[in-house]
Amino acid sequence: QRRLSLIWMLPLLAAGVGLWLLYRGFVDAPIPVTVYFSSGEGLQEGKTTVKYKGITVGLLKKLKVAEDLTNVAGTIEIKKGAKKSLNTGTVFWVVRPEVSLGGVSGLETLITGNYIGIEPGEGEPTREFHALDNAPLLEHDTGLSINLIANTLGAIHAGSPVLYRKLAVGRIQNYSLSAED
């Protein structure tokens, strides 16, 4: 009588584990996307993370000058769970520490380094994006948004407080030159 020896079970078990690991590697593989930045200042390959609401959802893997020499192309690997956020309306930007008269922002980057912020949007799926130079005005921010038109900018800048009877009641989020001027 011939029986299957236990010694043959070991290679079969190893092959099964190998196939399982190959399957998991394929299913959990990150999604590569290309993001174009106006500058690569403060970005480091393999170290700069992509964060959404403080949670890491990706990593900058490669950084190079774009083919047209006008900006910098970064290859970012986004975790598989964030795949639904890769749409034409999604925006990226670099979060850096900023000190101004209005206060300090991005203070955590002094310890952890600059990171790339992401805000998911709607639209068609895509794998190519152009990063913003500054953080976007987020629609889900609470409070009242007011557009003010003035003849001069004066000392106003992003982050400046809005005062009412010497009490800060808001902040300037952004400013731009009017299209009419």
pLDDT in tens, 17-28: 999 999 888 878
Compute the mean pLDDT over every residue in the chain, rounded to the nearest whole number. Answer: 83
Give 84's DSSP letter: G
Q: Strands across the sheet with 115-119, in order?
A: 91-95, 115-119, 49-52, 55-65, 72-78, 31-37, 128-130
Residues 51 and 109: their CA atoms lie apart, in Å, by: 12
Q: What is the pLDDT of residues 98-111, one digit of tens each?
A: 666 555 666 666 66
Provide the pLDDT for residue 60: 95
Q: What is the pLDDT of residues 53-78, one digit of tens each?
A: 889 999 999 999 988 888 999 999 99
Q: How many helices (H) and strands (E) does the chain have?
A: 2, 11
At residue 4, φ and ψ (nearest 5 deg) are -75, 120
